[in-house]
Structure 1
């Protein structure tokens, strides 16, 4: 949240929300920063840090310290645009109060954080880099503490009472979901993406989500992922909303495995469903060359 109240909301976040209540919790949190004047405090602090950094740079430079002076300035400026942990706690409280007042279940605010933490843990397990989000956590309260605090606070409010508006939210994002899922794959954060898609499947087991989970496995390409991808494609095929691209992706895996007959059948099915696809000529060339 900028000092003037400007707010940016990324589509990756919209994809991760399960209902209106969770989106309201995010907006309420950011409004909490604005109401608490956190951005103004942050801006004043940034100006002070900049002035001190310039002074240190000149003083250390005059003393012949050189590179150490630059490092000192970087250390001062590193936290310039990070809200403090107390600011985050206050914004959590204000946001939860706002959604409870609006009639949403305040417990949904805690669920947002639980979902995020689950994705980050999945990514850390996959990548082996437990500190990949250390900058994020450095300026935020401990994730377990934060989730528990919001859960406890919700119990003193409306708890889980209220309409989270899940169906209404799903209807609003339906026309954008496919593009957002494509964008999610391009992030190349396999652990986070797979955790997200598995959670989405627990909400609604549809062909589109099954296909994208298969794509996540195919692109990750770890041991056993080809089989996992094929299993997801097979499940997607049984759903009425299975994307035509499933047949192309399945054909690619079958082609890589040397199963030319199966690959040919998959590619032909893809072309019958999407004859004018951007990659149609490439797929036709595979068929003409005998796969």
Structure 2
């Protein structure tokens, strides 16, 4: 007796099911654990309080804006996008940042950068970086107050990039500044964030093109200057370890909404983030301006995707 064929409602084995938004956000939060742990070891447990407060403020602002818009609360409040934005924002701030500084940045990130443009999936700019840019411009003194690594009761210390900038403005050679620059804590934090980024790459949560372009372009652009004049130009390892460039390469520039979506577009986007970061570090008004570099490239992302999109099968780009 013949049997009737069975039709399965599951997808074809050749098709990979997309992860849900909460699952993706949860994996990114998990990948942030190594970098967060390294930051806590370097700057003390006060950072954990900032992270928790930023996540709660992000949820509160998200709920308030959704209520004002008359939108449903449950899907948006449970997709983990708001807590993730809050955590990314808090990780870019000094552990001693006051609560009102966190509140201003979270309002800028969630209410303005995210919901003013229509909510998750519609924001052209990275919300966390909008929050960072706002507090850097509005509260430059508070943003510069970093606890001295290993001395929790001390007041503050300039970051390696800030110390280098001060020395450069004073016409000091980098060899004269090495004793005054404490790089180790920031370098360990960068390495820990790279470990979390590799975890995301292994699970294919983020594309490889963007972080490779950010890190590779940083090395390629800074290496010749350092080899030619090491007393005037920092080494590639200094650029990667002294600021938030590694953190941005894996966790910020890879944002699928505000970044590029085409393979070649991602490469150009990452290269642009590195180029702008190095340029602002050298000639800009801020020691480390990764946030501004990312936001500038966010504005160029649609054009890059349009110019660098893959060719369709059978497409003749020379045809009218």
One fold, TM greater than 0.5? no
What TM-score results when the alignment is normalised by the length of structure 2? 0.27
Structure number with bigger Rg:
1
TM-score (norm 1): 0.29
